[in-house]
Structures are given as C-alpha cells and as structure tokens.
Amino acid sequence: MAFHREIARISGNPIYPAIVESLFRWAADYYRPVVRAPGAEELTLAEHSSIVDAIEKGDEEAASRAMQAHLGRASKLYSALKMRESLALHETR
C-alpha cells in the first residue's frame, strides 16, 4: 500500500492521496486474497517496477500506461472476488 500512497503523493494532485485512501478502505476486505493469490504477488511487483522505471525515466506516457494496466488488472481481480462472494452468499440462502 505504501507504493500507491507514494505515487499519489508525488503526483502533486491533492485529490489523489484522498482517492487512494478511500480505495484502500473499500478494498480492505479483498486486498489480502487478491495479493495472496498464486502468482499475484510476483505480477504485482513486476507491474510496480514498470511504473517506477517509467517515472524515473520521466516517461509520463509509459507511466500512465503501466499504471492503467496495473489498476485494470486489480479491478478485474476485485470484481471477480466480489462476484464469487455474491454467488456464495446466494447459494447459502
């Protein structure tokens, strides 16, 4: 989470840190299962590395693409977990 907080902080946009904190509160129930999914941690670290590399090079376009890919993948994982939870809840009724 520190990675995302730092990216938000260095963006210079005061809204981004607030958005990151809101997302963390929302995702708290899902974070651990997503991060601990087989292969997810290595993939996440590789994505973070791509983002940092682009920022260090000053390549805004590459940083934006890398962050969009990272957040898009995470969004799909969170959505899948939410769907799985909904189905499990529905099956228990």
**Mean pLDDT of the region 56-70:** 95
16-20, 48-52, 80-84: lowest mean pLDDT where? 80-84
Question: Do the beta carbons of residue 81 and residue 34 sit within 8 Å?
Answer: yes
Q: How far apart are CA 84 and CA 92, in angstroms?
A: 13
How high is the pLDDT of residue 43?
86
Domain borders along the chain are 2-91
How high is the pLDDT of residue 24?
84
Q: How far apart are CA 17 and CA 9, in angstroms?
A: 6
